[in-house]
Amino acid sequence: MEASASWLAWVVLVGCLIATITDLVARKIPNLLTIAILIVALAFHGLHGFVPFVQSFGAMAFVLILGTLAHARGWLGGGDVKLAAAVAAAFSLPDAVAFVLYTMVAGGLLAIVWIAMGRHRHFLSECTSYLLTLRAGVMPHVETAGTRKLPYALAIASGALIVYGSHSVMPYLHLRLFS
């Protein structure tokens, strides 16, 4: 990551922190926050040329399409999808791919903790049931009605923090994709 992008990193990380707090408190991510991150990201890459802009826009579109599919299955909320797409636009390619991978890992770990905190007694049986369903080749349906929803902005913020950190303080986590 180049030095001129450090202010963009702060915009994204502070935006993710605000989104995480609002997601934890109100279970909602403000659209204005997501739009602001997206506009700043696209403007930043647009100022660096046509190719960086197209890569940024493409990363956003790809994450938005994947996120919309996940939203349709009940796996992610709409605000989570929009936030992830805006952050992917800030990373552009190839870092957006690493961001998605790290966010998925963080989301999986968060889900395990969330389930364990919510239902201590049924944790092992539910995990076993999901694994058996997956092994049978069927995607398990995630119940959304009557369950506590996972504040996925925390996983998105974690993924963003890991990718930005992998360029400086945690270089061992830098994924060298497409090189």
Task: Give φ, ψ of 4 to 5 degrees.
Answer: -65, -15
How many structural domains does the chain have? 1
What's the domain range around 82? 3-173
Say if 178 falls within a structural domain.
no
Say if 37 falls within a structural domain.
yes
Mean pLDDT in residue range 149-177 = 78
Percent of the chain with pLDDT over 90: 55
Say if 155 falls within a structural domain.
yes
Say if 11 falls within a structural domain.
yes
- Per the CB < 8 A criterion, the answer to whether 1 and 148 are in contact is no
pTM listed for this prediction = 0.77
CA–CA distances in Å: residue 58 to residues 42, 63, 70, 133, 135: 11, 9, 18, 34, 33
CA–CA distances in Å: residue 170 to residues 96, 97, 161, 163: 17, 17, 10, 9
CA distance 106 to 103: 5
Burial class (CB in 10 A: 0-12, 13-18, 19+), 156: buried
pLDDT tens digits for range 69-90: 999 998 899 999 999 999 999 9
The pLDDT of residue 44 is above 70: yes
Instruction: Give me the pLDDT at residue 177, please.
Output: 60
Say if 169 falls within a structural domain.
yes
Q: Tell me which DSSP letter residue 43 carries.
A: H
The pLDDT of residue 111 is above 70: yes
Say if 179 falls within a structural domain.
no
Instruction: Give me the pLDDT at residue 146, please.
Output: 41
- Per the CB < 8 A criterion, the answer to whether 85 and 64 are in contact is yes
Say if 104 falls within a structural domain.
yes
The pLDDT of residue 41 is above 70: yes
The pLDDT of residue 167 is above 90: no
Instruction: Give me the pLDDT at residue 1, please.
Output: 47
**Helices 78-91 and 6-26, packing angle to 10 deg:** 170
Say if 21 falls within a structural domain.
yes
Question: In whole numbers, what is the pLDDT of the chain averaged over residues?
Answer: 82
